[in-house]
Amino acid sequence: MDAATGLITAVSAGTADIIATSGDILNSLTITVIPAGDLSIVVTGKTETIVTIEFQTNLGKAAYYTAAIRQVSSTYDLASKRIEPASELLTAAVSFDNLKHSTFYTVTLTDYNAENTVIGTRSITFETEKGVGNEAVVTNVQASISYADGILTLTNLDGTIAAIVSLNGKTAAKFTVSGNEVQKVVALSPGFYILNAGKTVSKFIVR
C-alpha cells in the first residue's frame, strides 16, 4: 500500500481483509484479487448437443466479453455471444446449443474494456458427448400408387421416374414425380397396365 496515495497493489492472487479507520470509525473490506494472466475458462457441463462454459471475470478491467464457438476443423465461427455480467461477479457463464455429437469444438473468450478495446483472450477445446445428437432421424415412409377415373395418384415418391407400361410392352406415360403427394391426369385406353416408380410397382386394369 502506498502511504501517500492509499493505492493498494496486489502481489498475488487471493483474498485479503482490509481494515481502515477514520477518526473513531472503523471500516473493514474483503477483496478478492484475480491476476489477468490467470483468468480461468472451464467446461462446466456438456451433452451431445449443448455445452456450458464458465469463466472468471476480469474485475475492474473488462466491461464486457464475447464468446465465439467453432469446430476445430473449421475456419469460421458457428455462433458468437456477448456477455455483460454484473460488475461484482467473480464468474460468469455462457451456453451454446445445436452442436453435433462426438465433435471437437473451441470456444474463444475475448475481454473488452469500456473503450471496446481487446484486453485479453482465452480459449478452451472440448468434445461433445457421443450419441445421436441433433442429426435428423430417417424414418421409413410408405409409398403408394393408385389410378382411378383418369387420375394417377402417387404418394411419397418424390424424385422418382414413373412409367406406365401396357401389357404388350408399350409405354403409355413416363414422367418425373415432383412432390410427396402428386395427382396427374393420364388418359389410358382400356387394358392391363403396370406402373413403376422407384422401387414401387403397381398393376391395374382400366375398363
Any residues with CB less than 8 A from the CB of 1 and at least 6 apart, and which? 7, 8, 9
CATH topology of domain 40-127: Immunoglobulin-like (2.60.40)
Q: Rounded to 5 degrees, what are φ and ψ at 37?
A: -75, -15
In the chain, domain spans: 40-127, 144-206
Calculate mean pLDDT across residues 98-126: 93
Q: What is the pLDDT of residue 15?
A: 55
Return the residue matching grid coordinates 400408387: 145
Cell of 188: 389410358
Any residues with CB less than 8 A from the CB of 6 and at least 6 apart, and which? none
Any residues with CB less than 8 A from the CB of 17 and at least 6 apart, and which? 28, 29, 30
Cα dist from 140 to 49, 137, 145, 197, whole Å? 25, 10, 17, 17
Q: What is the pLDDT of residue 131?
A: 67
Judge whether residue 108 has pLDDT over 90.
Answer: yes
Q: What is the CATH number of domain 144-206?
A: 2.60.40.3080
191: left (phi over 0), alpha (psi -120 to 50) or beta: left
pTM of the full structure: 0.48
Please report which confidence band the pLDDT of residue 133 belongs to, taking 50, 70 and 90 as the band edges: very low
| CATH fold match for the domains 40-127 and 144-206 | yes
Tell me which long-range contacts 8-12 makes (C-beta under 8 A, separation of at least 24): 10/35
